[in-house]
Amino acid sequence: MVLWQKKLMSLENEKVILRLPNRSDYNSWVNLRAKNFSSLACWEPDGALKNISYSDFKIRINWAERGFKNKDVLSMVIFRKPSLELVGSITLENVKYSPFYSGYIGYWLGSEYYRQGLMSAALSSIIDFTVRNWKITKVSAATLPENKASINLLRKFNFTEEGVGKKYLKIKGIWRDHIIFSYISPERK
């Protein structure tokens, strides 16, 4: 289900509600990031965990709103139903239209919310929305080879391995290779 409210857009399914971030999300977001710092540091690029000030968050809100308006970024916070706890975030960015109709997705979830189907629900909603509304027919993701949970999630959604991005992201001070996966929508004929 897609709900529109002036500038705010949200997606909803049986497990999660996704919406563009707003200022009222800051405390929940920063607390979840801080609580999961050590686990997120294993997967996220250097510097990502440093951008947690309120000022940084306002910049992120503006970037997400502008990106949504321009249809080149869809960055949403994820809330678990029915409690409406903020549990993570998912972002489709680097959206390119003709002739590519593609984008890159990234996501994170608080470790206390693993294995509950929440990221599956979020990924399903994002893919469905961008294929139907933005006509994006290829979504790519990069993951570390040891991130089995992410690899399994991507495979569940018919992402196929395309190759290795050599020295793709710097994580914990080391340039790390990532496996590149892509989802090709049946609409891509």
Report yes or no on whether pTM surpasses 0.85: yes
Nearest Cα neighbor of 144 from 159, 165, 126, 158 is 165
Closest CA to 86 of 3, 13, 1, 18: 18
**pLDDT, tens digit, for every residue of 11-65?**
999 999 999 999 999 999 999 998 988 888 788 887 776 778 899 999 999 999 9
Beta strand pairing status for 74-80 and 85-96? antiparallel
In this prediction, residue 4 carries a pLDDT of 45
Res 189 pLDDT > 60 = yes
3-state secondary structure (DSSP) of residue 189: coil
84-128 pLDDT, tens digit each: 999 999 999 999 999 999 999 999 999 999 999 999 999 999 999
pLDDT at 8 over 60: no
